[in-house]
Every structure is written in structure tokens, then in C-alpha cells.
């Protein structure tokens, strides 16, 4: 049984790595910067080992191990204000611990090769250690305020890593955009926490998650709705759901290992985890569940549509991540709790694989632009095979992991048996076809056909167009060879995970491998202290396999793949002609529905700056400053008048004092 010290070490090891690299290695031993990479890998490997111990402990305990007994520690304690903190080690926690630490370990090993030679090598691994520690701290937190602290540390870490190459204007702008966009959701989350605090009592501290579980039914309907909406707004910001999605594609300005970690197991997964952590609260209000399902379903299609035309391979995968997160929220909104976290678990592995494959392609061609790739399967055989496996999993093709998790999400929508369920089912199936198309569009443009020159041809075209070549292009080079082993090894491991992760936990009994949905059984196990929570999600513990729906979704995915083959491999359909024929739609998708222009040009510049800010500046100058000036002017005039009475003559002062005494006596005698 894992103890409390071991649980804190899961967070403490990467946090210690961050401190040692930042305080010791970087300032004093930066010539030995490779130590930073090895220390980061070792610390996260330690966290993974402890996470496996925690997983075994929770499994043996029947689903939950609550540290500190049933009474949390008090972080701060004042009359009327007690902030609890501690370790909450339940089935959801350990699944997230294994996902975060496992994926992060592979990403750090990959980074040893990818970031080799970068002048900020030690700084990179310091930030990666902090990023991993923040996410691990988030998932083990017992107190609501404790969750919020680590939630903000995740945002800070992402800001530092997205803007890692801060000398590039695009990277600095992307980091600021991510930080500011997520603040909107975080502010709503903070308001929900404050409202939750006001509803607690000395005996019932709702800022303690287990206590909140047991008292969800005591919250009023309106209170539960507003609190759940605030929490969901925070999740929308972190997980880049519509309308707070625009920061995630720009976040590709960070190093590729950062993209892999942000998009798989850390920042964007935090939003899904947050809704799952407070799922009993969400289930108590049907209106919020409907909102979650509709936002998720719409985002799944909305983001996938932009991936259809994107030419940057990392941005295609970024839009794909937004879309897949939409699937997870769709599942949560329809009550398919198990399906949502099953998809989060398997998606972390195959999406990390795809981003790492993109980094391997960049290592060979020097560019992320699909238009300058092609023919790379001959020089990148391992990366090509791994990308095929990740792509089939993402598209939901049997027997890869994405097939099982997506099917369960669609079954959850079908079983919802409501108008909302029908709507999100249609949206989910539409996104399936889109996913197959954009994923294999990437594969055909990257690995098939003839090589189109890589970074050299891209630079040539940029110069011919009179465009400035930024630092990323200036340092690019063509190196047509397979990536080093530090990059190929994690890619190969992830490719196997994409194949077997879903198969070993699928709900089909006829295979003889499993006789139950082992993942569903595990994440819904609960002890008595969580009995209400367990009852709330028990309906989703054993999702049934739906063969007709599985065939339909597979057919749609294959139709998308076939269309991509016809356009980019067989070339029986011309992509350029399709772009001309459907020019309005194509232009809308290329410009990402003009959401950036809406936010940055219309809302920020025209409405806020040109109107609101200028109006407030004018009001401040004309009225606020004007009133102050007038007060000062009249004070000066009054002082000038009174100054005449101060002539320095003692006889004048005596006369005034005598006159005042006479007046006072007269008033007293004749009036009082």
C-alpha cells in the first residue's frame, strides 16, 4: 500500500528536478547541460514507478485510497476560512498518473535527441520538469483550492514552454495568446470556487472534494448549475474548446516535444480531468450536461473541418487534438464517463506518437509544411510505420485503440435517447469521416510521391515571394535520414501502445482475452466514502459493444481515407480544382472561420481599444482630471482671498478676536 510520503514524491521528484536544474545546473554548470536531460528523465521515471505502486494500491483497495484518513489537512485555517489540502488517490487519479508520467517519460527521452545542441537545453528540461510536476500535482489534489493552484501552475508552465524560443516574435505572441485566452476560463473557475466556499459550513467544508461528493444533493439546483458552469468554463479554456480554442494551433510555435506533451497528457487533458473530478456535481444539473455535450460535439466537427485544409503538419494535429477533446466532452455530457476517460487514456498515446512523428519528419526535411514534403517513407521507414499505426488509431480503424474508445463514445450518445443525444451522435459520426480524411491527407502528402525539396525549396519560395525568412527557417536544413535512436525508441513504444491499449480493455467478450471491460470496471470502483459518486457513474461502467454503429463509423472513416487517397495519392481528384470550385468554403476554412480576426481585430482593436478604451480615456481626461483641476483651482482662489486676512499685524488679530467674542456673547444672550 502506497503511503503519503510516496504519494507526495510522485509530484516532488520532477519538482526537485526543476529546482536543481534552475538553481544549480543552469547558472553554475551549464557546460554540462546534458545532465539536465538525464536528471529530468530519471525524476520522471521515478514518478512513473511510484505511480505504478499507487495504481496497484488503489486496485487492491477497491478503487480509493484517501490519504490522511477521511480528514484532510488544513492548509490555512482562520475563523470562517479553512482551506483543506491532501492526497486524493482514487481510480481516476491513478489512471491520470500513469498517463501523465508514462507519456512524459517518453517525451523527455525523445527530447534528449530532438533538443540536442539547442542553447536553451537545460532551461528546456527545467520547464519540462515543472510542467510534469504541475500536472501530477493537479491530479492528486484533494482540496479544490489546491487543484486551482496546480491548475494555474500548468498554465504558467505552458506559457514558458510555448514561448521557449522567445526571441522569435511568433513564439512570444503564441505564449501570450495562450496565457490570456485561458485566463477567461480560469476566472470563471475561480468564481465557481468562491461561490462553492460561500455554500459551505463549519461542519461541511465543500472545498474538500470527498466532502463535496457526499453533499452534492444538498446544493440547490441553481447553485449547482452556476458552479458547474464555472468549472466547465475553466475546462473549456484549458482544453481549447469553442469559443476559447484559438490559442492551441498557435501553441505549435514551441518545440515539438512540448507540443506532444501539451496535446496529449498535460494541459489540454486537464480540462477533461476537471469535469471528471467534479462529475457528480455535473450530473446533478441536466442543463449543464446538455451544454457540455453540445459544446463537445460542435467542437469535434468545427476543429476537424479546419484540419482538412491546414498545411502545417503540427497544426493539423493541433486541430485534431481540439476535435478529439470535443469527443471527450461529448461523452461526459451524455453520461458516458468511462468512454470519455478511456478515450483520454488511449488518445494520449497515439497523439503523442503523431507529434513525435512530425518532429522526426522535421528532423529530416527541415520543415513542417506539408507542401514541401513527400516521398519520405523511403528514408524514414520506422517513422512511417509508426505514423500509419497512429493514423489508423486516430481514424478509429479496427483493431487499433481509437476504434474501441470512439465506438464507446458514439454508443454513449446513442444510449442517451434524447434529442441532444441524436444531435451529438450525428456530429460525432461526421467528425469520424473528417478525421479519416485529414489524417491520411497528412500521410500521403508527407510520405508518398516525390520529395518536394523540404526547407530549401520553402526558403526559395519565400524569397521569390519577397517574404522574410524567420529564425526557424534560417536554421532549418535537409537531412534525409531516420532520426536518432532517442527519437525512434519512444515512437516505436507508442506505436505498440496505439495497437494494444484499446484491444486489451475492449468490452467484447468473444475474444477470450477479457470477460469484462477492465478499464470501465476499474475507474468506477469506489469505497463507501464515495458511494454517491459511485452510484452516479455506475451506469457507464459496462458499455456494450454496438456492432451496427461500429460498422457505420468504420465505413465513414474508410470513406474519408478513400477520398484522401483519391485526391493526394491516385490524383483522380484535383485538390486545387476542389479549392477553386468551393472557394468560399475553402477560404473560410483556411482563415479558421476568421475567429482570430473577430477576437483581435473587431473585439480587441475596434470595440475595446478604439471605442471603449478611447471613451474611458476621454472621460478620464475630461471629467475625472477636469474635476480635480477645478477643485485645485477653486482651492487656490479661496486661499488667495483668505490670505488677505493674514497680514501679520497683531492689532488686526486682536480686533478680530474681540469682534468674535462680542458676536458670541450677543448670540448667547439674545438667542440662547
| pLDDT, tens digit, 9 for 90 and up, residues 211-236 | 898 888 888 788 999 999 999 999 99
Does 23 have pLDDT greater than 60?
yes
Residue 527: is its pLDDT beyond 50?
no
Higher pLDDT, 330 or 2: 330
| Predicted pLDDT of residue 441 | 94
Q: Which of the pair, 37 or 477, is modelled with greater confidence? A: 37
Q: How confident is the model at residue 503 (pLDDT cuts 50, 70, 90)?
A: low
Angle separating helix axes 313-333 and 337-365, nearest 10 degrees: 180
Distance from C-alpha of 438 to C-alpha of 308, rounded to nearest angstrom:
5
User: Which residue carries 535537409 as its cell?
Assistant: 478
- Averaged pLDDT for residues 302-311: 94
Residue 96, judged by CB atoms within 10 A of its CB (0-12, 13-18, 19+), counts as buried
Q: What is the pLDDT of residue 668?
A: 81
What would the pLDDT profile of 72-126 be if each residue is shown by its tens digit? 777 666 667 788 888 888 888 999 999 999 999 999 998 888 888 888 889 999 9
Q: Which residue has the cell 545532465?
A: 35
Is pLDDT at 48 greater than 70 in this prediction?
yes
Q: Which of 217-231, 474-488, 529-543 has the lowest mean pLDDT?
A: 529-543
| Whole-Å CA distances, 596 to 28, 306, 369, 600, 646 | 43, 13, 21, 6, 67
Q: What is the pLDDT confidence band of residue 539, given thresholds at 50, 70 and 90?
A: very low
- CA–CA–CA angle 35, 37, 41 (5° rounding): 115
Q: Cα 613–618–623 angle (5° rounding)?
A: 130
Percent of the chain at pLDDT > 70 equals 88
User: Phi and psi dihedrals of 64, rounded to 5?
Assistant: -145, 135
Instruction: Write down the pLDDT at residue 473.
Output: 44
Cell numbers describing residue 541 = 461502467
pLDDT for residue 536: 45
The pLDDT-based confidence of 71 (bands split at 50, 70, 90) is low
Least confident of 182-186, 225-229, 438-442, 536-540: 536-540
Tell me the chain's radius of gyration from C-alpha atoms.
Answer: 30
The residue that leads in pLDDT, 566 or 527, is: 566
Does pLDDT of 131 surpass 90?
Answer: yes
Q: Residues 391, 491: contact at Cβ < 8 Å?
A: no
The model carries a pTM of: 0.86
Is residue 538 predicted with pLDDT exceeding 50? no
Exposure on the CB side of residue 111, measured as CA atoms within 13 A: 33
By three-state DSSP, how is residue 617 classified?
A: helix
Length of the chain: 672
| Whether the Cβ atoms of residue 310 and residue 319 lie closer than 8 Å to each other | yes
User: How far apart, in Å, are the Cα atoms of 395 and each of 93, 401, 454?
Assistant: 28, 10, 27
Mean pLDDT within 464-471: 62
Nearest to 148, CA basis, from 240, 25, 254, 230 = 230
C-alpha cell at 385: 510505420
CA angle 80, 86, 92 (to 5 degrees): 120
Judged by average pLDDT, the poorest of 14-23, 338-347, 599-608, 610-619 is 610-619
Q: Is 644 helix (H, G, I), strand (E, B) or coil?
A: coil
Of 301-305, 581-585, 596-600, the poorest mean pLDDT is in 596-600
State the CB neighbour count (10 A cutoff) for residue 525: 18
Residue 324: band (very low, low, confident or very high) from pLDDT cuts 50, 70, 90 = very high
Spatial distance between the Cα atoms of 64 and 524, rounded to a whole number of angstroms: 10
**pLDDT tier, 535 (very low <50, low <70, confident <90, very high otherwise):** very low
What is the arithmetic mean of pLDDT over 553-572? 93
In sequence order, which residues have a C-beta less than 8 Å from that of residue 128 and are 6 or more positions away? Answer: 40, 104, 107, 108, 111, 161, 257, 258, 261
| Helix 419-447 and helix 286-307, axial crossing angle in degrees, nearest 10 | 20
Pairing type for strands 73-78 and 88-90 reads unpaired
Give the mean model confidence (pLDDT) for residues 250-255.
Answer: 86
Separation between Cα atoms, residue 125 and residue 131, nearest integer Å? 10
Could you tell me the pLDDT band of residue 483, with boundaries at 50, 70 and 90?
confident
**What average pLDDT does the chain have?**
84
Look-up of cell digits 525524476: 43
For 18-22, 75-79, 197-201, which range has the lowest pLDDT when averaged over its residues? 75-79
Is residue 312 classed as helix, strand or coil in its secondary structure?
Answer: strand
Sorting pLDDT into bands at 50, 70 and 90, what band is 151?
A: very high
Range name among 11-25, 253-267, 537-551, 626-640 with the lowest pLDDT average: 537-551
Query: Mean per-residue pLDDT for 168-191?
Result: 91
Q: How far apart are alpha carbons 168 and 186 in whole angstroms?
A: 27
Amino acid at each position: 500500500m502506497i503511503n503519503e510520503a510516496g504519494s507526495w514524491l510522485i509530484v516532488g521528484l520532477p519538482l526537485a528536478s526543476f529546482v536543481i536544474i534552475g538553481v544549480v545546473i543552469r547558472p553554475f554548470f551549464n557546460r554540462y547541460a546534458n545532465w539536465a536531460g538525464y536528471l529530468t528523465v530519471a525524476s520522471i521515471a521515478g514518478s512513473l514507478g511510484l505511480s505504478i505502486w499507487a495504481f496497484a494500491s488503489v486496485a487492491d483497495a477497491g478503487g480509493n485510497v484517501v490519504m490522511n484518513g477521511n480528514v484532510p489537512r488544513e492548509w490555512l485555517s482562520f475563523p470562517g476560512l479553512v482551506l483543506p489540502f491532501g492526497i486524493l488517490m482514487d481510480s481516476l487519479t491513478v489512471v491520470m498518473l500513469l498517463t501523465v508520467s508514462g507519456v512524459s517519460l517518453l517525451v523527455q527521452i525523445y527530447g534528449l535527441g530532438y533538443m540536442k545542441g539547442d542553447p536553451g537545453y537545460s532551461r528546456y528540461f527545467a520547464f519540462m520538469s515543472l510542467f510534469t510536476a504541475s500536472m501530477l500535482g493537479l491530479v492528486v489534489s484533494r482540496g479544490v483550492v489546491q487543484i486551482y493552484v496546480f491548475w494555474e501552475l500548468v498554465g504558467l508552465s505552458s506559457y514558458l514552454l510555448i514561448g521557449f524560443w522567445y526571441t522569435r516574435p511568433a513564439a512570444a505572441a503564441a505564449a501570450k495568446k495562450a496565457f490570456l485566452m485561458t485566463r477567461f476560463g480560469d476566472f470563471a473557475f475561480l468564481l465557481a470556487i468562491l461561490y462553492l466556499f460561500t455554500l459551505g459550513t463549519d461542519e461541511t467544508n465543500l472545498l474538500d472534494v470527498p466532502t463535496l461528493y457526499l453533499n452534492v444533493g444538498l446544493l440547490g439546483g441553481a447553485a449547482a448549475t452556476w458552479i458547474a458552469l464555472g468549472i466547465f468554463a475553466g475546462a473549456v479554456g484549458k482544453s481549447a474548446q469553442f469559443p476559447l480554442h484559438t490559442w492551441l494551433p498557435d501553441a505549435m510555435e514551441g518545440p515539438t516535444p512540448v507540443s506532444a506533451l501539451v496535446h496529449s497528457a498535460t494541459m489540454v487533458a486537464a480540462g477533461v480531468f476537471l469535469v471528471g473530478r467534479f462529475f457528480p456535481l455535473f450530473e446533478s444539473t441536466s442543463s449543464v450536461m446538455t451544454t457540455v455535450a453540445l459544446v463537445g460535439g460542435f467542437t469535434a466537427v468545427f476543429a476537424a473541418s479546419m484540419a482538412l485544409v491546414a498545411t502545417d503538419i503540427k497544426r493539423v494535429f493541433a486541430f485534431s487534438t481540439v476535435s478529439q477533446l470535443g469527443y471527450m466532452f461529448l461523452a461526459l455530457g451524455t453520461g458516458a464517463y468511462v468512454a470519455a476517460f478511456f478515450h483520454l487514456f488511449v488518445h494520449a498515446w497515439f497523439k503523442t506518437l503523431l507529434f513525435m512523428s512530425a518532429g522526426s519528419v522535421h528532423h529530416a526535411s527541415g520543415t513542417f509544411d506539408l507542401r514541401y514534403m513527400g516521398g519520405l517513407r523511403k528514408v524514414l521507414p520506422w517513422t512511417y510505420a509508426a505514423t500509419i499505426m497512429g493514423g489508423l488509431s486516430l481514424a478509429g480503424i479496427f483493431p487499433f485503440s481509437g476504434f474501441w474508445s470512439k465506438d464507446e463514445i458514439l454508443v454513449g450518445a446513442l444510449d442517451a435517447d434524447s434529442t441532444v443525444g441524436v444531435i451529438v451522435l450525428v456530429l460525432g459520426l461526421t467528425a469520424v469521416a473528417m478525421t479519416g480524411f485529414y489524417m491520411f491527407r497528412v500521410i500521403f502528402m508527407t510520405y508518398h510521391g516525390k520529395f518536394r525539396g523540404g526547407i530549401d525549396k520553402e526558403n526559395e519560395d519565400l524569397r521569390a515571394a519577397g517574404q522574410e525568412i524567420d529564425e526557424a527557417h534560417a536554421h532549418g536544413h535537409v537531412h534525409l535520414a531516420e532520426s536518432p535512436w532517442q527519437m525512434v525508441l519512444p515512437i516505436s513504444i507508442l506505436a505498440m501502445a496505439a495497437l494494444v491499449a484499446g484491444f486489451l480493455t475492449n468490452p467484447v467478450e468473444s475474444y477470450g482475452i477479457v470477460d469484462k471491460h477492465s478499464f470501465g470496471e476499474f475507474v468506477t470502483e469506489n469505497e463507501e466514502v464515495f458511494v454517491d459518486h459511485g452510484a452516479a457513474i455506475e451506469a457507464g461502467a459496462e458499455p456494450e459493444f454496438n456492432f451496427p454503429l461500429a460498422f457505420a463509423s468504420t465505413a465513414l472513416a474508410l470513406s474519408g481515407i478513400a477520398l484522401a487517397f483519391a485526391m493526394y495519392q491516385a490524383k483522380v481528384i484535383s485538390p486545387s480544382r476542389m479549392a477553386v470550385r468551393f472557394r468560399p468554403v475553402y477560404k473560410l476554412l483556411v482563415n479558421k472561420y476568421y475567429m482570430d480576426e473577430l477576437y483581435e481585430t473587431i473585439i480587441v482593436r475596434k470595440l475595446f481599444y478604439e471605442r471603449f478604451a478611447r471613451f474611458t480615456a476621454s472621460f478620464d481626461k475630461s471629467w475625472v482630471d477636469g474635476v480635480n483641476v477645478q477643485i485645485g483651482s477653486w482651492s487656490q482662489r479661496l486661499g488667495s482671498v483668505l490670505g488677505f486676512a493674514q497680514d501679520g499685524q497683531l492689532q488686526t488679530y486682536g480686533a478680530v478676536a474681540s469682534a468674535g467674542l462680542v458676536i458670541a456673547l450677543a448670540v448667547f444672550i439674545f438667542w440662547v
